[in-house]
Amino acid sequence: MTGWQTLFYKEVLRFWKVAAQTVAAPVLTAVLYLLIFGHVLDSHVKVYNSIPYTAFLVPGLVMMSVLQNAFANSSSSLIQSKIMGSLVFVLLTPLSHWGWFIAYVGSSVVRGVLVGAGVFLATVWFTGVNFEAPLWALVFAILGAALMGTLGVIAGLWAEKFDQMATFQNFLIMPMTFLSGVFYSIHTLPPFWQTVSHLNPVFYMIDGFRYGFFGQSDVSPWLSLAIVGVALLVVSGIAVHLLRIGYKIRG
């Protein structure tokens, strides 16, 4: 195996060895969200004039799980390796910065998509959900996981202790995820908050992913694809540059 494949394999094994924590726990959390919000609001809320709220909620929960776990995978791996001192063994290898990037982001995509599939299989029993455009759903799941995995690389390189990582996640990733239309259509918001939502790239990931289920969305899936694609290119450029210069990992 080449260097990046070995590191990729190691990163996949890292989260799979504790699958109860990294895969099963997020699935359980999503099911609890569905049970609580679905039970309370299903008979009161209709989205796009015809879609039951529980059915609307399923793709949002799936994509939220994909994004959060993709970010957690790369960020937690880097910060743990830095604090425990094991990162030096990767630094000793002749692996290029591109190898690092592909391995960490690739493993994040695997974990994000795996958790998302688990959430879908666990929640689809509660409502009838069909795929109107499955290719759109797959594209946005992979792009979204790659984008959040790349943000996780940036956060893992920047943070020097767990407190800093928690700050990055609690004040940036969590608000962007929860204020992105997971639990609601942005057309139900006041004009000001609709404008704010349109500035959130995570909104376009979830809205585009939801289009794959219902063939309907708050904005055009092509617009969402363009915005997510540009955002991925920008953060990837930043992450690759930081890896190339050894930001906070090379003396």
pLDDT tens for 130-155 read 788 999 999 999 999 999 999 999 99
Query: DSSP letter string over 143-204?
Result: HHHHHHHHHHHHHHHH-SSHHHHHHHIIIIIHHHHHTSSSSS-GGGS-HHHHHHHTT-HHHH
- Please give the model's pTM, rounded to 2 decimal places: 0.92
Q: What percent of the chain has pLDDT over 90?
A: 61
Q: Which has the higher per-residue pLDDT, 189 or 17?
A: 17
pLDDT of res. 72: 95
Helix boundaries (H) for 42-96: 53-84, 87-91
pLDDT of res. 43: 62
Confidence of residue 37 (pLDDT cuts 50, 70, 90): confident
Q: Is 57 exposed, middle or buried, given 0-12, 13-18 or 19+ CB atoms closer than 10 A?
A: buried
Site of tokens 């609001």: 41
Q: Whose CA is closest to 249, among 109, 12, 77?
A: 77
Q: Whose CA is closest to 110, among 208, 15, 4, 231?
A: 15
Mean pLDDT for 94-111 is 95
What is the rounded radius of gyration, in angstroms, for the C-alpha atoms of the chain?
A: 18
Whether residue 177 is predicted with pLDDT greater than 70 in this model: the reply is yes
Taking the C-alpha atoms of residue 205 and residue 214, their distance in angstroms, rounded to an integer, is 15
Q: Which two tokens stand for residue 240?
A: 């690759």
Mean pLDDT for 192-220 is 91
Mean pLDDT for 12-22 is 95
Q: Is 31 exposed, middle or buried, given 0-12, 13-18 or 19+ CB atoms closer than 10 A?
A: middle
Mean pLDDT for 64-78 is 95
Taking the C-alpha atoms of residue 70 and residue 40, their distance in angstroms, rounded to an integer, is 29
Mean pLDDT for 14-25 is 94
Mean pLDDT for 32-55 is 75
Phi and psi, residue 127, nearest 5°: -160, 155
Domains of the chain, residue spans: 3-245
Taking the C-alpha atoms of residue 208 and residue 35, their distance in angstroms, rounded to an integer, is 24
